[in-house]
Structure 1
Amino acid sequence: MPLLTRTFIKTALIYLTLALTLGIALALGITNGLFPVYIHLFVFGWLTQLIFGVVYWMFPKYSMQLPRGYEWLGWVTYGTLNIGLLLRAIAEPLQASKPNNLSGALLVVSAILQWLAGVVFIANTWHRVKEK
């Protein structure tokens, strides 16, 4: 299993643990206003990250020289996805509790980073979706 895949999957497992823990805290009423963070940790931290890692590993080879496409694009995807997700996890509760320009700007940056992760992932994966 490639290092990039292992990194995506282990990071996904960490996010799953965080999301489950936050879900328990929300259910017990220990914390309020973090439901959007909970959803993002599950969807982008756990599911998306797991899918990206498995796709990088298991999809058909691009070529003999670049079997998984450009690895550096995979790392760009990993970095932008996680920086965007962590920024969102910090900025979203701040914006919800006390809206201000900084947390609003951080939310925009986080959304752009997550969007960029998706675009880079698609660019690096598109050519691997083929008949044979």
Structure 2
Amino acid sequence: MPLLTRFHIKSAFLYLAAAMALGIVLALAGVLDLPGWVVYLSPAFFHLIMVGWVTQMIFGVIFWMFPIVTRARPRGSERLGWATFILLNAGLLLRVVAEPANAVRPGSGWGWALVVSAVLQWLAAVAFVINAWPRVKEKYRGE
């Protein structure tokens, strides 16, 4: 299994654990007297699940298991793969911090952090598609 795939999958497991812990906190907010800002963590929970767990796992498995591009570069660009990993995780972590911060203090600049996080995640998706696209073909031609 390639190193990049291991990073994606291990990160996905960490995000799953973090999301489940956050889910417990959000559930407890309905029965315990927790601080009011806890309710603003709900979008972070969904991003941890969908981007952190699901998307990260998909990116890692696709990098590993899709058909090879060429014998010289079987998985496409390794650098673009790492750029995807870094951009996706930087965007997600920024989002997890900025989303509740912006909800608690709107107009304090956290809105721009949300924009930056969205751009980082979008760039990760574009880089992933560019790298994976050549691997979606009818059959290997020995190139």
TM-score range, shorter chain: over 0.9
Distance 1:47 1:93 in 2: 21
Partner of 2:127: 120
Distance 1:78 1:102 in 2: 26
Residue 100 of structure 1 deviates from its aligned partner by 2.1
Partner of 1:12: 12
Distance 2:40 2:7 in 1: 30
Distance 1:122 1:5 in 2: 16
TM-score normalized by structure 1?
0.98
The structure with more radius of gyration: 2
Residue 64 of structure 2 is aligned to residue 47 of structure 1:
no
TM-score normalized by structure 2?
0.90
Distance 2:28 2:113 in 1: 29
Distance 1:57 1:100 in 2: 42
- Give the alignment of 1:1-132 within 5 angstroms: 1-29=1-29, 30=34, 31-132=38-139
Structure 2, unaligned stretches of length 5 or more? none
Report the count of equivalent residues: 132
Cα deviation digits, residues 74-99 of structure 1 (max 9, x gap): 00000000000010011100111111
RMSD over aligned CA atoms reads: 0.7
Distance 1:130 1:27 in 2: 45
